[in-house]
Structure 1
Amino acid sequence: MSEKLKVAIIGCGGIANGKHLPSLKKLEQVELVAFCDIDITKAEKAAKKYGTPDAAVYEGYKQLLKDESIDVVHVLTPNISHAEISIAAMEAGKHVMCEKPMAKTTEEAKLMVETAERTGKKLTIGYNNRFRPDSQHLHNVCKQGDLGEVYYAKAHAIRRRAVPTWGVFLDEEKQGGGPLIDIGTHALDLTLWMMDNYKPKSVMGTVYHKLGQKKDAANAWGSWDPEKFTVEDSAFGFITMENGATIVLEASWALNTLDVDEAKCSLSGTEGGADMKDGLRINGEHFSKLYTTNVELGAGGVAFYDGKEESDADLEARLWIESIIHNTEPIVKPEEALVVTQILEAIYESAKTGKAVYFE
């Protein structure tokens, strides 16, 4: 492909400026030609810093989608509008990268998958933790079968006190939930991907609103306003899969614990195990002896190596764009992200009813 892909950004907030725009700007195959945000000043600022000299700026996404020259749209808005905008973009002939989580509800996520299949447009979801060096290596270990059948796993997304107090993170209506749908979604995606298991059978869940009402609370980003804290502060899920495997999912923004891990997983298989607790560790049994291997993922010690490895965000962006150019499947498939949404929704539902949710 000689011509560059023309990419548009819808939603020019923190995730756009902190992740997507810097990575896309580095790619020679990309031109950032359009920017949209309900706060037009954010779009203008992003366009000036990252866009082409004639980049267009919009306040409404529908007007942006009328530009037939745009090839790709990144949907980086609050969760409530992920499905609406992604579906409209695919209908308008654009490939779509949508930030995680895929959607607020399973119904919306299914519509996104159906639209991608019907229009023939590529759709991927922003699960960037798959692209970390430890995740990439562990996935290769699992794919090769070194752990055997992984029948027990834990998905870790635990913060002690790190509640995001900006934007709409604390607004249940706009986000669909708190830490479970925000960071728990990363940990669950990572775990399912490692296990290559996307067939849940049942889910039990608990959701807690225990610390969110505290005033003047200690927090990484300053105390939150209890009146605005309408989402859970922690949530936990017990997931059984059709093949008998078990997954425990833990997620919190505020929890009285020192066992803190975010976007990590622990795996137990018939031939070995692995975790991301202290770097990447592989464990097993060899010649009737137990072993633990700490995997060295850096390239330290090489005199001429400058230490500048491709970041997870850079790798995610590059492989996404290359999947469009070469017409290959994206690393994060929409069907996989749909299962993540199904399980998260089931945890919330189970917590409300006090009963297990069963999948057909």
Structure 2
Amino acid sequence: MSKLKLGIIGCGGIAHAKHLPALAKLSDLVEMTAFCDILEERAEVAAKQYGAEGAKTYTDYKQLLEDKTIDVLHVLTPNSSHSSITIDALEAGKHVMCEKPMAINSLEARKMLDAAKRTGKKLSIAYQNRFREDALMLKEACDDGFLGDIYLAKAHAVRRRAVPTWGVFMDKEKQGGGPLIDIGTHALDLTLWYMNNYRVKSVSGTAFHKLKDQNRANMFGKWNPAEFEVEDAAVGFIKMENGATIYLEASWALNTVDVREAMTTLSGTRGGAEMRRHPVNGNPALSLNTEMYGKLVEITPEMISSIPYYGSQEETEGDREARQWIEAIMEDKEPLVKPEEAYIVTTILEAVYESSRTGKEIILD
């Protein structure tokens, strides 16, 4: 089978941190032939480092879409442009991997979903945390019934002081929000996926703007308070149609020491699960709990991805995400992250913001 030709729209931080290195490891399956960014220099740098021979660069993505040889596009732009670029790409006959979140609101996400169905092209959203070792094991445990019926969950996306000071993260118009839509989206996606429950009844929540002036101890350096247009923290309470509930917490800046990101706590009728960081190496750590033979039991599996000195190569969650996505296209199967699921995530996040703005519980259809 011939290689897929792939284009990149948006050659900034997330492209270089995840997508480009992961796709480069799939040189037997894909070749990157087009790179687009509003800053010509960024597109040229990416093309020089990762592009196939003769790779083209663009500053206007619509010109890139005219290249009928391109099979797949990765949309890695600010949130506000996810929907319009993705829809144009699908209409141009390309399969699309779009960075999270799917869109800045449910209306735009619905348009993306409709375009994928109308064109018959594959669409997936970049929720790479599903591909972590601990995440994959927990999903298997949930599907096997180890937890039973999961009726209570907490979705964690909490940083103490880690406000991203680069790019447009603090720009409400371009991003649609702050930590809730940026990292809360990962925690919520994981939680819904484990519960296998996307039927939402109602949402309430609060977005906080409290710590914009406390910027001296930030992990990524001081931010300009005048540019901090989005919330510094947010919480949401989600009720599902079957009575299950989810507590969602997200922060870039919060006075707490209980920090964890893209993780969840699950309680079911047969057992529970807790995702945290390992206290020594900082890697994701999973703990399963249940009752066994009249005793309370906690199971903590080892997460070993490679054997030192034996030439094994560690595979990241970004690598697994890219491979599963490309294989889904080549083998004509569903991607692990379905756009219908990502649409529900966006709908819930939008409802948390709306509840905070109005002070009311939002009832969802």
Query: For 1:292, what is the secondary structure of its paired residue?
Result: strand
1:229 aligns with 2:228: yes
1:295-350, CA deviations, whole angstroms, 9 ceiling, x for partnerless residues?
Answer: 112157x6774453311000000000000000000000000000000000000000
- Aligned-partner residue type, residue 64 of structure 2: L
Separation of aligned partners in 2, 1:293 and 1:162: 31
Other-structure match for 1:314: 319
Check whether the contact 1:102–1:125 (CA below 8 A) recurs between aligned residues. yes
Distance 1:148 1:45, change over 3 A: same
TM-score by structure 2 length?
0.96
Other-structure match for 2:107: 107
C-alpha deviation, 1:15, in angstroms: 0.3
TM-score by structure 1 length?
0.98
Separation of aligned partners in 2, 1:118 and 1:303: 48
Other-structure match for 1:58: 58
Runs of 4+, deviation exceeding 2 Å? 302-309
Separation of aligned partners in 2, 1:308 and 1:205: 43
Distance 1:147 1:87, change over 3 A: same
- Aligned-partner residue type, residue 217 of structure 2: A
Separation of aligned partners in 2, 1:326 and 1:197: 27
1:223-249, CA deviations, whole angstroms, 9 ceiling, x for partnerless residues?
Answer: 110000000000000000001001000
How many residues align? The count is 357
Separation of aligned partners in 2, 1:285 and 1:306: 40
Check whether the contact 2:271–2:289 (CA below 8 A) recurs between aligned residues. yes
- Aligned-partner residue type, residue 234 of structure 2: A
Q: How big is the alpha-carbon RMSD for the aligned residues of Structure 1 and Structure 2?
A: 1.1
Separation of aligned partners in 1, 2:176 and 2:326: 29
- Aligned-partner residue type, residue 287 of structure 1: Y
Query: For 2:68, what is the secondary structure of its paired residue?
Result: coil
Separation of aligned partners in 2, 1:153 and 1:303: 36
Check whether the contact 1:150–1:267 (CA below 8 A) recurs between aligned residues. yes
Separation of aligned partners in 2, 1:299 and 1:111: 39
- Aligned-partner residue type, residue 255 of structure 1: L
2:332 pairs, out of 321, 324, 327, with 327
Q: Which runs of 5+ in 2 are unaligned?
A: 279-284
1:192-231, CA deviations, whole angstroms, 9 ceiling, x for partnerless residues?
Answer: 00110111100110100000134x5210010110000000
Other-structure match for 1:9: 8
Other-structure match for 1:134: 134
Aligned-residue sequence identity (percent) comes to 61
Q: Which runs of 5+ in 1 are unaligned?
A: none
Distance 1:354 1:324, change over 3 A: same
Other-structure match for 1:340: 345
Other-structure match for 2:282: none
- Aligned-partner residue type, residue 175 of structure 2: Q
Query: For 2:165, what is the secondary structure of its paired residue?
Result: coil
Distance 1:299 1:350, change over 3 A: closer
Other-structure match for 2:120: 120
